[in-house]
Amino acid sequence: MSAERLTPKRLFSAPPLTGSTPQDLKFTPDGSGLTYLRAADDDRERMDLWRIDLADLSHHLWVDGRTLATDADVASLTAAERAERERRRRFHHGVTEYDWHPDGSRLLLPADGRALLLTPGGDGTWLCPAGTRQSGFTLDPQGQRLSYVRGGDLHVWDVLEGTEKRLTEDASDTLSNGLPDFLAAEEMHRFAGHWWSSDGASICYCKVDESTVAVSHRLEMEADGARTIEQRYPYAGAENPRVALWRVDLTTGEHACLWQCDGAEAYLARVTMGDNFALLQIQDRLQQRLTLRRIELASGEARELYTETVDTWINLSDDLKLLDDGTVLLSSEQSGTRQVYALGQDGAVQAIPCPTHVNAVHGCHDDAVFVSGWQDSPTENHLFRLAGGAVEQLTQAAGWHDVALDVTCTQYLDRFSSPDVLVEVSVASLSAQTPPRQIHAEVVDGEHPYAPYLASHVMSQFGEIPAADGQRLCYRLTPPARIEGQHATIVYVYGGPGAQKVRRDWGSLLVQMFAHYGFAVLEVDNRGSGNRGHAFEAPIYRQLGEVEVVDQLEGLTVLREQPWADLNRVGIFGHSYGGYMTLMCMSKAPSAFAAGVAVAPVSDWQLYDTHYTERYMGLPADNAAGYEAANVLPHLHNLNAPLLLMHGMADDNVLFTNSTLLMGKLQDLGIPFDLMTYPGAKHSMQEQSVSVHRFEMILSFFARHLQQGHRQHG
């Protein structure tokens, strides 16, 4: 079979090139099966729900996404629904999310602003009043009531009686109840704004007052016109929304405030509910102190269980687990990498022996703690059992294992990928010494959507190079599909904290596309990147755009060892923080890069939000020199290579103003550049037409300036 070239149009069309790869895998409540979402063969944007019966490993289509009222028309969504989709990066339609009813026989499927309680393969019951739209759906632990937010107020639907009760009545244009604020969802990854107590007797909910946040006006350009949007965006150094945690007793209807932000306690980062208490994780404004506080729901009495302080910042996690005996499992990077600790009821903190770095705590069973992380290389991810002071690695195949445990922590599923394995999914017992059972494998054979491109698939090279401080930088180098003479290289960069690009997995098909067009692709995880621990991230503190650039330049030394690499034809490309890195690298090292593409870049960190920016840079008033040095604009006069700037014209995250500032400065300096803006596109720019057009432009740009030489700017 002759190899075909992978094009942007094919990459973003149906059927998906990754085949029928399961997504969002979950155990059924009773552990007898698995459920997962899968993209439809005829529409890559529509998700269907499937079930696997673990007795015979058979797969069954349970919910066809076409049978649901659809959210495909984004224009029909409320502002709260659109914000929820964008913050969660959820861009599909059909079955986009689902939760099991506690009885294990039914599913809750949010659809078209309402919720459907469905017996798969049978009839469903629509919840919420007809003709209304809601968001923030949450079932109570007994499955008898559904809570949600409409018009900024919290409501509860009685599933058995089919009646609704409104719990709050004070919502306004600037005040909402039961939803996360922008900072919580976008930066803290706290997507919930209300929580049921485990006995179902009360709900804790966030009351968010945005009146303190100054109104900024931004222009959203659609294809057929423009509109001015008033957005209360909390710029670095400015006022945040006021967030308070309230509790409503569902028997008496009484409301009480349990916590509210103030100068010393700025952020409600996490909430974990017990029967009659709540555990709150609270951060100060600079995120240098994290407090775990227990609050009794009935009395409001509060006591601190644990406090951690650092000189830089504390990364949040979802690792807190409340055990039956009252012990709290939590993780911390106070040792330099993330480790697990047990907090006893007496306040004693005990370290649990762990692998080198933990990136997720899954649970505990029979005095064993189960975690994911890595021991030898951050490019791999494995499941470990921690018991009796021993660290046992349960997954063995070299590569990346995404795992999930059932509710009893007695079995796990493993979604595995490696450079030569697209996806394999298996299930295994944690309590019996039996081999894993494979339940799905993507075999790229003659019928597979990726089969026509397999002959041109390029195996990547992995390695490490030392950083200036001796820490190791991981890289992945993907050569061109056909090596004929010397080739240009594209540095595909993100570079920001919390993210990791270099994994020993199948890799991005976007990278393969570049390779099919004759480019090599180099990816380097510089200091500041995620999954390495705080010691690896800390060098970027108060000086974004410094060590990251140094490390990306160090990564270019890898190309010197490749006889096919032309070091005079190196381009750079990135999105969001990667767009920022593209501009900083081109401006600070103009001789190193022959062309660059910056997509939705930050240009001035004072235009970004408080929680993210101040975490790494501190307050602008206390670090004026650092903010100035991290600003792209003062460095642009050095830029002398072709630049393509791209931005969505409805971006509410990295505001379009970041790019208009760049345009104005480049024009003042007399530096020509290419520009492409996308009407109606948000930050992720996930629309199929936008994706195809964007990457066709990027390929054309790099072909002109890297494969046919490049022009110098005077």
One domain, residues 566 and 592:
yes
In the structure encoding, which two tokens stand for residue 645, read together? 């700037």
Do 613 and 480 share a structural domain? yes
User: Do 671 and 579 sit in the same domain of this protein?
Assistant: yes
What's the CA gap between 548 and 528, in Å, rounded?
Answer: 7
* Span 464-510, pLDDT tens digits: 999 999 999 999 999 999 999 999 999 999 999 999 999 999 999 99
Over range 43-71, report the average pLDDT: 83
Residue-wise pLDDT tens digits, 336-345: 999 999 999 8
pLDDT score of 73: 54
Report the alpha-carbon distance of residue 43 to residue 14 in Å, rounded. Answer: 6
Q: pLDDT-derived band of residue 88, with 50, 70 and 90 as boundaries?
A: low
Residue 182 domain-assigned?
Answer: yes
Is 560 among the domain residues? yes
| DSSP 8-class letter at 712 | P
Number of Cβ within a 10 Å radius of residue 714: 6
Asked if residue 326 is part of any domain, the answer here is no
pLDDT score, position 626: 98
The confidence band for 714, taking pLDDT boundaries of 50, 70 and 90, is: very low
Q: Mean pLDDT across the stretch 445-458? A: 94
Q: What is the pLDDT of residue 571?
A: 98
- Name the pTM for this structure: 0.93
Are residues 522 and 629 located together in one domain of the fold? yes
- Which of the listed residues 125, 158, 176 is the one where a domain comes to its end? 125
What's residue 708's pLDDT? 56
Distance CA 327, CA 37 (A): 35
When pLDDT is cut at 50, 70 and 90, the band that residue 355 belongs to is very high
Place of tokens 């026509």: 452
Longest dimension (CA), the chain: 78
Q: Angle formed by the axes of helices 577-588 and 547-555, to 10°?
A: 80
Considering only CA atoms, give the Rg of the chain: 26
pLDDT of residue 710: 40
DSSP state of 42: T
Q: What is the mean pLDDT of residues 604-614?
A: 97
- Residue-averaged pLDDT of the chain: 92
Same domain, 101 and 178: no
| H or E stretch at 85 | helix 79-88
Contact 221, 650 (CB under 8 A): yes
Query: Does any domain span residue 557?
Result: yes
Q: Based on the fold, state whether residues 156 and 75 are members of the same structural domain.
A: no
Token pair for residue 484? Answer: 């004929």
- The pLDDT value recorded for residue 123 is 73
What domain range is 281 assigned to?
Answer: 134-316
Domains contained in the chain, number: 3
CATH of the domain at 538: 3.40.50.1820
Better-predicted residue by pLDDT, 118 or 613? 613
Q: Which amino acid is at 147?
A: S
Query: Is residue 121 pLDDT above 70, yes or no?
Result: no
315: left (phi over 0), alpha (psi -120 to 50) or beta: beta
CB 648 within 8 A of CB 617: no
Give the end of a domain, one of 281, 316, 351. 316
Residue 517 resides in a domain = yes
pLDDT at 91: 54
Q: Which two tokens stand for residue 587?
A: 């401006």
Give domain status of residue 609, yes or no: yes
Each residue of 43-56: pLDDT tens digit? Answer: 777 888 998 999 99
User: pLDDT tens across 290-338, in order?
Assistant: 999 999 999 999 999 999 999 999 999 999 999 989 999 999 999 999 9
The pLDDT confidence band at residue 545, using thresholds 50, 70 and 90, is: very high
CATH number of the domain to which 300 belongs: 2.140.10.30
pLDDT of 276 above 50: yes
Contact between residue 294 and residue 302 where contact means Cβ atoms under 8 Å apart:
yes
User: Are 81 and 46 part of one and the same domain?
Assistant: yes
Return the pLDDT at 380: 98
Q: Based on the domain organization, do 27 and 156 belong to the same domain?
A: no
Structure tokens at 350: 């005990």
Are 63 and 201 in the same domain?
A: no
For residue range 170-217, what is the model confidence (pLDDT) as tens digits? 999 999 999 999 999 999 999 999 999 999 999 999 999 999 999 987
User: Which stretches does DSSP call E strand in 537-695?
Assistant: 565-575, 595-599, 643-648, 674-678
pLDDT at 422 over 60: yes
Angle at 580 between CA 579 and CA 582, to 5 degrees: 65
| Residues in Cβ contact with 346 at an 8 Å cutoff, skipping those fewer than 6 apart | none
Q: Do 584 and 494 form a contact (C-beta atoms < 8 A)?
A: no
Distance CA 34, CA 573 (A): 39
**Structure confidence at residue 3 (pLDDT):** 73
- The pLDDT, as a whole number, for residue 711 is 39
Residues 474 and 550 in one domain: yes
pLDDT digits over 218-269, tens only? 777 777 777 887 889 999 999 999 999 999 999 999 999 999 999 889 999 9
Structure tokens at 657: 């103003």
Mention every residue, 6+ apart, whose C-beta is less than 8 A from residue 67. none
Round to whole Å and give the CA distance between 491 and 638: 19
Which of 99, 125, 151 is the endpoint of a domain? 125
Give the pLDDT band (50/70/90) at residue 68.
confident
Model confidence at 703, pLDDT cuts 50, 70, 90, reads very high
- pLDDT value of residue 43: 79
Same domain, yes or no, for 68 and 145? no
d(C-alpha 432, C-alpha 676), whole Å: 57
360 within some domain: no
Q: Which has more pLDDT, 62 or 287?
A: 287
Residues 594 and 475 in one domain: yes
- Per-residue confidence (pLDDT) for residue 105, from 0 to 100: 82
Give the Å distances, CA to CA, from 674 to 398, 643, 659, 705: 43, 6, 12, 12
Q: What are residue 314's phi and psi, to 5 degrees? A: -110, 125
Residue 434 covered by a domain: no
**pLDDT(85) > 70:** no
| Residues assigned a catalytic role | 576, 651, 683
Q: Is the previous residue joined to 601 through a cis bond, with omega within 30 degrees of 0? A: no
